[in-house]
Amino acid sequence: MTERITKNMARNIYFGGGLFAILVFAGLTMDTVHQIPKLSHDDKITESVAAGKQVWEDNDCVGCHTILGEGAYYAPELGNVFERRGNSDEATFKAYLSGWMAAQPLSEPGRRKMPQFHLSDKQVNDLADFLIWTSRVKNNEWPPNIEG
């Protein structure tokens, strides 16, 4: 074998490596598509969860908060707020969220102000259901700490 790589050898390495990368990418994509239903539990999306997602979008919550790592980092991560503030109890969390939303904006020094959105009780309940559903998505332990 020669010590130099010929033009044909380089072309074969380029196309062979490219084909290998495409096959690996396609295989990983197919695996991901098959894993999504098991990880997202989308069969448990209720009308209330969907309505809560709509409240989330209509009020641009993602403009300040992150959810499962997506969004702005201005305010806390809310993907695990159900565990943090509701101790994984739905009634406790819904009561907490209702009180929290009604108390906004807080005037604590050094704290960023969250606006008062004037949400109805149903909207707050729907938002709570959305955040509860989100907390149950299998997310590979994201966020890495309980406080987001």
Q: Are 75 and 68 in contact (CB under 8 A)?
A: no
CA distances from 125 to 34, 67, 105, 137, 142 (A): 32, 18, 19, 19, 24
pLDDT in tens, 103-114: 998 888 877 789
Fold held by 41-148: Cytochrome Bc1 Complex; Chain D, domain 2 (1.10.760)
The span from the CA of 97 to the CA of 85, in Å, is 9
Q: For the beta carbon of residue 128, count every other beta carbon within 10 angstroms.
A: 26
Q: For the beta carbon of residue 64, count every other beta carbon within 10 angstroms.
A: 17
Q: What is the pTM of this model?
A: 0.77
pLDDT in tens, 16-41: 999 999 999 999 999 999 988 888 88
